[in-house]
Structure 1
Amino acid sequence: MKLPPLIHGPFATRLLTVFVLVWCLPLDLAAQTSVAVNTTNDLDDGTCDATHCSLREAITASNNAVDGGIIAFNIPGSGPHTLQPSMALPPVEDGVSIDGTTQPGFAGAPVIELDGSLVGEAHGLDVVGSNNLIRALVINRFAGNGISISTDCTDNVIEGNYIGVDATGTAALGNGEAGVAMFQGASDTTIGGSDAGAGNVLSGNVFGVLIADGSVSGTQILGNLIGTNAGGDQAIPNSQTGILLWGTDTVIGGVEAGARNVISGNGFAGIDLGPGSTGTIIQGNYIGIDAAGTAALGNDLGIFVNFSPNNVIGGTESGAGNVVSGNVGLNININGLDASENILQGNYIGTDATGTVALPTGRALRIEYARNNLIGGTQPGARNVISGNYRGISIEGPTATENVIAGNYIGVDVMGFAPLGNRGAGIRFTTEASNNTVGGTEPGAGNIIANSTWVGIAVFPEAGTGNRILGNAIFDNAQLGIELNRDGVTPNDENDPDTGPNNLQNFPTLIAAVASGSGAVIEAELASAPDSSFLVDFFSNLACDEEGHGEGRTPLGSVTLSTDATGMGSVVAAFSTISGTILTATATDSDGSTSEFSQCLELATWGVSSSPTSRTVTPGESASYAISVSADGGTFDETVSLSCSDAPPEATCTFDQDEITLVDGQASATMTVSTAAPAGSSRVIPWTHGNPPWIWLSVALLLLVAMGLRERLRRSDPRWSPGLVPVSALRGAAIVALLGLMVLSQNSCGADGTPPPEGGTPTGSYELTITAAWESAQSTSSATLVVQ
Structure 2
Amino acid sequence: MYAHFRRLLLSLIVLWSCAWNTEAAAAPDYCVSTPAELLDALHQWETLNFDVVIGLQQGTYALGSTMSGFFDGDGRTAGLKLLGGYNAGCTARTVNPTNTVLDGLNQPGSYLNFRMNADAVFLLEGVTLTRFNTNQFDVLSVGAVTHGDEGIYAVKYCRFLNNTGGQSLIHMYGAQMKVLNNLIAKNTLTDTFHPGMVQLFYADGFDSFAIVNNNTIADNTGAPGIVVNSITVNGVTSSDRTSEIADNIVVNNAGADIELGTFSTENNLLIKGNIYNVAHYALPLDSSNLTVNPQFINSAANNYGLAVGSPAINSGLLYQLYGLPAHDLFNGVRVIGSQIDRGAIESSLNNLTTAIVTNTGDNGNNSAPLAGSLRAAIRSANLASGPYQINFSLSGGCPHIINMSTEMLDVTGQVTIDARTLSGWTGNSDYGRFDANLCLVVNGSGATPWAFHVPSGASNARLTVHGMMFAGFTDAAIRLDGGSDHRISGNQFGAIPFTSTNASAVRVSNSSGRATIGGFDDPTAVNLIAGSSAPGIYLDNAAGGNVLGNNIIGFQRNGLDPASNQIGVYLFNSPNNYLLYNYIANSSATGVTISGAASTGNILQYNRIGQDYTGGLPGNQGAGVAINFAARNTAIGAPLLGDYGGNFIARSVGPGVWISPSGGNGNRVLSNEFLDNQNVDIDLASAGPSSNQASNPAVGPNQLQNYPVLTQATRSSGANPSITVNGNLNSTPNASFRIDYYLATACDATAPGRGHAYSHLGWVNVNTNGSGSAIIVSTLTAPANVALNRISATATSASGDTSEVGNCVTVNQAIVTNVIFSNGFE
TM-score of the aligned structures, taking structure 2 as reference length? 0.50
Structure 2 vs 1, CA of residues 526 and 194 (structure 1 numbering), >3 Å: closer, same or farther? farther
Normalized per residue, the structure richer in helix is 1
Task: State the partner residue of 2:419.
Answer: 222
Task: State the partner residue of 2:804.
Answer: 596
Alpha-carbon contact 2:600-2:632 (below 8 Å) kept? yes
Task: State the partner residue of 2:279.
Answer: none
Query: Shift in Å at residue 556 of structure 1?
Result: 1.1
3-state SS in 1 of match to 2:448: coil
Cα distance in structure 1, aligned partners of 2:633 and 2:656: 18
Alpha-carbon contact 1:343-1:373 (below 8 Å) kept? yes
Query: Shift in Å at residue 311 of structure 1?
Result: 1.2
3-state SS in 1 of match to 2:804: coil
Tell me the amino acid that sits aligned with residue 239 of structure 1: T
The Cα RMSD (Å) is: 3.1
CA deviation profile, 1:581-639 (whole Å, cap 9, x unmatched): 111110001110100000111110122233xx76xxxxxxxxxx3x4xxxxxxxxxxxx
1:447 maps onto 2:647 in alignment:
yes
Cα distance in structure 1, aligned partners of 2:710 and 2:394: 61
Aligned partner of 1:392 among 581, 591, 606: 591
Alpha-carbon contact 1:296-1:327 (below 8 Å) kept? no
Task: State the partner residue of 1:582.
Answer: 790
Tell me the amino acid that sits aligned with residue 249 of structure 1: R
Query: Shift in Å at residue 309 of structure 1?
Result: 2.2
Alpha-carbon contact 1:540-1:556 (below 8 Å) kept? yes
CA deviation profile, 1:346-402 (whole Å, cap 9, x unmatched): 0001112232222133111110000001010xxxxxx10011111211111111100
Tell me the amino acid that sits aligned with residue 529 of structure 2: V
CA deviation profile, 1:397-422 (whole Å, cap 9, x unmatched): 1111000011100001123x211111
Task: State the partner residue of 1:169.
Answer: none
Aligned partner of 1:496 among 696, 711, 736: 696
Structure 2 vs 1, CA of residues 484 and 414 (structure 1 numbering), >3 Å: closer, same or farther? same
Alpha-carbon contact 2:410-2:454 (below 8 Å) kept? yes
Alpha-carbon contact 2:708-2:806 (below 8 Å) kept? yes
Task: State the partner residue of 2:824.
Answer: 672
Aligned partner of 2:745 among 508, 518, 542: 542
Tell me the amino acid that sits aligned with residue 553 of structure 2: I
Cα distance in structure 2, aligned partners of 1:271 and 1:514: 55
Task: State the partner residue of 2:764.
Answer: 559
Tell me the amino acid that sits aligned with residue 281 of structure 1: R
3-state SS in 2 of match to 1:326: coil
Tell me the amino acid that sits aligned with residue 573 of structure 1: S
Task: State the partner residue of 2:685.
Answer: 485
Structure 2 vs 1, CA of residues 145 and 512 (structure 1 numbering), >3 Å: closer, same or farther? farther
Tell me the amino acid that sits aligned with residue 777 of structure 2: V
Tell me the amino acid that sits aligned with residue 813 of structure 2: T
1:249 maps onto 2:462 in alignment:
yes
Structure 2 vs 1, CA of residues 464 and 555 (structure 1 numbering), >3 Å: closer, same or farther? same
1:463 maps onto 2:463 in alignment:
no
Task: State the partner residue of 1:369.
Answer: 573
1:236 maps onto 2:445 in alignment:
yes
Cα distance in structure 2, aligned partners of 1:181 and 1:331: 30
Tell me the amino acid that sits aligned with residue 801 of structure 2: S
Alpha-carbon contact 2:366-2:408 (below 8 Å) kept? no
1:266 maps onto 2:473 in alignment:
yes
CA deviation profile, 1:526-551 (whole Å, cap 9, x unmatched): 01111010001111112111212222
The 5 Å alignment of 1:69-218 reads 133-137=355-359, 139-145=361-367, 147=369, 182-184=381-383, 186-193=385-392, 201-208=401-408, 210-211=410-411, 213=412, 216-218=413-415
The 5 Å alignment of 1:244-323 reads 244-246=453-455, 248-253=461-466, 260-274=467-481, 276-290=482-496, 297-307=500-510, 308-316=512-520, 317-323=522-528
Aligned residues: 443
Alpha-carbon contact 1:262-1:289 (below 8 Å) kept? no
Query: Shift in Å at residue 190 of structure 1?
Result: 2.2
Q: Percent identity?
A: 25
Tell me the amino acid that sits aligned with residue 250 of structure 1: L
Alpha-carbon contact 1:515-1:603 (below 8 Å) kept? yes
Alpha-carbon contact 1:313-1:345 (below 8 Å) kept? yes
CA deviation profile, 1:674-713 (whole Å, cap 9, x unmatched): xxxxxxxxxxxxxxxxxxxxxxxxxxxxxxxxxxxxxxxx
Query: Shift in Å at residue 200 of structure 1?
Result: 6.8
The 5 Å alignment of 1:431-446 reads 431-441=629-639, 442=642, 444-446=644-646
Cα distance in structure 2, aligned partners of 1:348 and 1:550: 31
The 5 Å alignment of 1:331-370 reads 331-338=536-543, 340-370=544-574
Task: State the partner residue of 2:628.
Answer: 430
Task: State the partner residue of 1:411.
Answer: 610
Tell me the amino acid that sits aligned with residue 688 of structure 2: G
Query: Shift in Å at residue 235 of structure 1?
Result: 6.4
Structure 2 vs 1, CA of residues 392 and 145 (structure 1 numbering), >3 Å: closer, same or farther? farther
1:513 maps onto 2:713 in alignment:
yes
Query: Shift in Å at residue 192 of structure 1?
Result: 3.0
Cα distance in structure 2, aligned partners of 1:401 and 1:313: 20
Cα distance in structure 2, aligned partners of 1:559 and 1:372: 27
Cα distance in structure 2, aligned partners of 1:574 and 1:457: 27
Contiguous gaps of at least 5 residues in structure 2: 1-350, 423-437
Cα distance in structure 2, aligned partners of 1:508 and 1:554: 17
Structure 2 vs 1, CA of residues 134 and 285 (structure 1 numbering), >3 Å: closer, same or farther? closer
Tell me the amino acid that sits aligned with residue 759 of structure 2: T
Alpha-carbon contact 2:381-2:415 (below 8 Å) kept? no
CA deviation profile, 1:175-194 (whole Å, cap 9, x unmatched): 9xx97574355533222359
Structure 2 vs 1, CA of residues 185 and 162 (structure 1 numbering), >3 Å: closer, same or farther? closer
Tell me the amino acid that sits aligned with residue 657 of structure 2: I
3-state SS in 2 of match to 1:608: coil
Alpha-carbon contact 1:199-1:224 (below 8 Å) kept? no
Alpha-carbon contact 2:355-2:389 (below 8 Å) kept? no
Structure 2 vs 1, CA of residues 389 and 180 (structure 1 numbering), >3 Å: closer, same or farther? farther
3-state SS in 2 of match to 1:566: coil
Tell me the amino acid that sits aligned with residue 450 of structure 2: T
The 5 Å alignment of 1:621-770 reads 625=821, 627=822, 671-672=823-824
3-state SS in 2 of match to 1:183: helix
3-state SS in 2 of match to 1:298: coil
Cα distance in structure 1, aligned partners of 2:727 and 2:380: 63
Greater C-alpha Rg: 1
Query: Shift in Å at residue 137 of structure 1?
Result: 3.3
CA deviation profile, 1:88-112 (whole Å, cap 9, x unmatched): xxxxxxxxxxxxxxxxxxxxxxxxx
Tell me the amino acid that sits aligned with residue 290 of structure 1: I
Structure 2 vs 1, CA of residues 195 and 466 (structure 1 numbering), >3 Å: closer, same or farther? farther
Query: Shift in Å at residue 209 of structure 1?
Result: 5.9
Cα distance in structure 2, aligned partners of 1:395 and 1:135: 39
Structure 2 vs 1, CA of residues 356 and 502 (structure 1 numbering), >3 Å: closer, same or farther? same
TM-score of the aligned structures, taking structure 1 as reference length? 0.52
CA deviation profile, 1:150-176 (whole Å, cap 9, x unmatched): xxxxxxxx9xx6658xxxxxxxxxx9x
Contiguous gaps of at least 5 residues in structure 1: 1-128, 149-157, 165-174, 254-259, 377-382, 615-624, 628-670, 674-784
Tell me the amino acid that sits aligned with residue 401 of structure 1: T
Task: State the partner residue of 1:692.
Answer: none
Alpha-carbon contact 1:395-1:428 (below 8 Å) kept? yes
Tell me the amino acid that sits aligned with residue 754 of structure 2: H
1:421 maps onto 2:636 in alignment:
no
Cα distance in structure 1, aligned partners of 2:421 and 2:444: 14
Structure 2 vs 1, CA of residues 311 and 583 (structure 1 numbering), >3 Å: closer, same or farther? same
CA deviation profile, 1:474-502 (whole Å, cap 9, x unmatched): 22100111111114221112332421100
Tell me the amino acid that sits aligned with residue 672 of structure 1: G
Structure 2 vs 1, CA of residues 589 and 418 (structure 1 numbering), >3 Å: closer, same or farther? same
3-state SS in 2 of match to 1:550: coil
Alpha-carbon contact 1:233-1:290 (below 8 Å) kept? no
Task: State the partner residue of 1:740.
Answer: none
